[in-house]
Amino acid sequence: MSKDILNLQPASLWKNFYSLTQIPRPSKKEEKVRDFIADFGKKLGLETIVDEVGNVIIRKPATPGMENRKGAILQGHIDMVPQKNSDVVHDFEKDPIDAWVDGDWVKARGTTLGADNGIGAAAAMAILESKDIPHGPVEALFTIDEETGMTGAFGLKAGILKGDILMNMDSETEGELYIGCAGGTNANIRFAYSEVPVPAGMIAFKLSVTGLKGGHSGVDIPLERGNSNKILNRFMWHAERKHGLRLASIDGGSLRNAIPRESFAIVVIPGDKKSDFLKCLEKFQGIVKKELMTVDPELKVEAVATDMPKALIDEDTQKRFLNAVYGCPNGVMRMSNDMAGLVETSTNLAIIKSENGNIRLQCLLRSSVDSAKSDLEQMMQSVFELAGAEVIFDGQYPGWKPNPASPILKTMQEIYQKKWGKVPEIRAIHAGLECGLMGGVYPNWDMISFGPTICNPHSPDERVGIESVQKFWDFLVDTLKNFPQK
């Protein structure tokens, strides 16, 4: 762990971010960081509440002379996406993040950094402990489990918060203000299979697709990066027909909201097909590398001899599974007609895993248009039900409809232009922000989302721009100083 982070400015924000890197906080395992945040508030002598689901709310009164300002809710989530490279030894439930300064960026060594949304949480903490920043009444809302279901936002009760304006600090491009986001749905798919003996004369290989960049399945989906699950299935579909490939097990991807970077399968082929099989794999790797050379230059597709598996997935299920995954929609489905450059609808084939007689798949479907999301659900359902799979949708969350007439938007546009000589870009994001859910519980809120520049969230390449954090902080401080009056 590099403590150079503690020498960065703004010192108060980076100090708190460093503290968060030392506390394991993968989604659904936030107990330690929840207790840390609650103790932080109590030690400051501030009213601190832990609600029924584990969200932490800390209230700080207005500084003298600012009592007539509207109440600000500074919001960020305290969980992080636990992704690492396969050659890195790291236990996200026990080990701190090994963060370090690399020129103009802060990164982590072989794992996600947790700047998403540790920077937002650290900024709220810095405001809470500040003694020289003028502000009206402040409530800091630290939500849990944003990354794997938004259960913190789902569980937020009406009436517990008193503020008027929600400032979500979970968007990832400095100089942009977000006023809308996509809604989402999880597609959970299951193929039941029987185990059958391995035929005589077979040899076994471990297939792997590695070296992809992956990334956030909403923010990075328009980059058209490779999906390791789709690439692996594409090869196996071909090898089944040409070389008699049989599947024993498969394990690809690990998070529903991350584009899968690595996928693995144990397969067998007839011994006399070995030479043709390996030549075919080499040719396939060349084809896919050429297709993805701009976005995923480090792609590798490999086959390594391995021990013979004890059993195989039955041939009928294998065929139905490979066909369905080949036909499964994936990536950008439609661009927005209303906002240039914005993805309207997409889907990500995130996870495939076989065990205990089932192959389970999970896809995250996103859209800013509810009817388009429903259409995509039905498309997905039709593909997999035709293949004899069970399909269940859950975890639905609404989008956040843009409000171009937002008072806080006008205020922040004016502040940004005055400070930096340009008007910030107004955007909606093709990702799930908690604003949509919380706005349903508090329909009176004016809402906005902003943040520093974070690249490649949800992947081990995650990094945050140091200069952008300073600008984000200065913008936050000046906004609080100029907050609208009641």
> Could you report the per-residue pLDDT of 222-236, keeping only the tens digit for each?
999 999 999 999 999
Q: Residue 448: what pLDDT?
A: 97
Asked if residue 195 is part of any domain, the answer here is yes
The reply to whether 230 and 328 lie within a common domain is yes
Beta strands 195-196; 312-313: pairing state: antiparallel
Are 253 and 169 members of one domain?
no
The mean pLDDT of the chain is: 96
Average pLDDT over residues 153-158: 95
Question: Model pTM greater than 0.75?
Answer: yes
Please report the sign of the dihedral spanned by the C-alpha atoms of residue 223, residue 226, residue 227, residue 230. positive
Q: What is the largest CA-CA distance in the chain?
A: 84
Q: Is the pLDDT of residue 1 over 70?
A: no
Left, alpha or beta for 456 (phi > 0: left; psi -120 to 50: alpha)?
left
Give yes or no: residues 159 and 174 share one domain.
Answer: yes
- Structure confidence at residue 338 (pLDDT): 76
Where does the pLDDT of residue 2 fall: very low under 50, low under 70, confident under 90, or very high at 90 and above?
low
pLDDT band at 149; cut points 50, 70, 90: confident
Please check whether residues 409 and 306 belong to one and the same domain: no
Which of 1-10, 34-43, 324-333, 451-460 bottoms out in mean pLDDT, i.e. has the lowest?
1-10
pLDDT of 66 higher than 60: yes
Among 248-257, 331-340, 450-459, name the one with the lowest average pLDDT: 331-340
> What are the tens digits of pLDDT across the range 365-418?
999 888 999 999 999 999 999 999 999 999 888 888 888 899 999 999 999 999
Residues 103, 82 share a domain? yes
Same domain, 128 and 142: yes
Within a domain: residue 361?
Answer: yes
**What is the predicted pLDDT for the residue at 464?**
98
**Residue at 324 is within a domain:** yes
Using the predicted structure, report yes or no on whether residue 431 has a pLDDT greater than 70: yes
One domain, residues 326 and 425: no
* Active-site amino acid positions: 79, 146
Both 343 and 461 in a single domain? no
> What is the domain range of residue 375?
185-397
Residues 261, 374: one domain?
yes
pLDDT score at 395? 86
Number of folded domains in the chain? 2
Structure token digits, residue 52: 């029924």
Least Cα distance to 261 among 34, 66, 464, 81 occurs for 81
Mean pLDDT computed over 26-35: 97
Q: Is residue 393 one of the residues assigned to a domain?
A: yes
CATH number at residue 425: 3.40.630.10
Rounded CA gap, 285 and 243, in Å?
17
The answer to whether residues 161 and 239 belong to one domain is: no
Residues 6+ apart with CB under 8 A from 89: none
The percentage of the chain sitting over the pLDDT mark of 90, rounded to a whole number, equals 90
Which of 374, 397, 420 is the endpoint of a domain?
397
430 within a domain of the structure (yes/no): yes
- Assess contact for 208 and 300: CB atoms under 8 A: yes
CB contact at 8 A, 430 and 219: yes
Q: Which of 215, 59, 27, 48 is nearest to 127 (CA)?
A: 59
Q: Cα(369)–Cα(182) distance, rounded to whole angstroms?
A: 8
Residues 86 and 114 in one domain: yes
CATH number at residue 376: 3.30.70.360
Whether the bond between 117 and the residue before it is cis, its omega within 30 degrees of 0, is yes
Residues 231 and 279 in one domain: yes
Nearest C-alpha neighbor of 68 from the set 120, 137, 164: 137
End-of-domain residue from the set 333, 367, 397:
397
Residue 486 covered by a domain: no
Which of 367, 397, 427 represents a domain boundary (last residue)? 397
* Contacts for 7 with CB less than 8 Å, ≥ 6 apart: none
Q: Does residue 308 belong to any structural domain of this protein?
A: yes
Q: Are 374 and 184 in contact (CB under 8 A)?
A: no
Query: Which is nearest to 31 in space by CA: 127, 144, 116, 165?
Result: 144
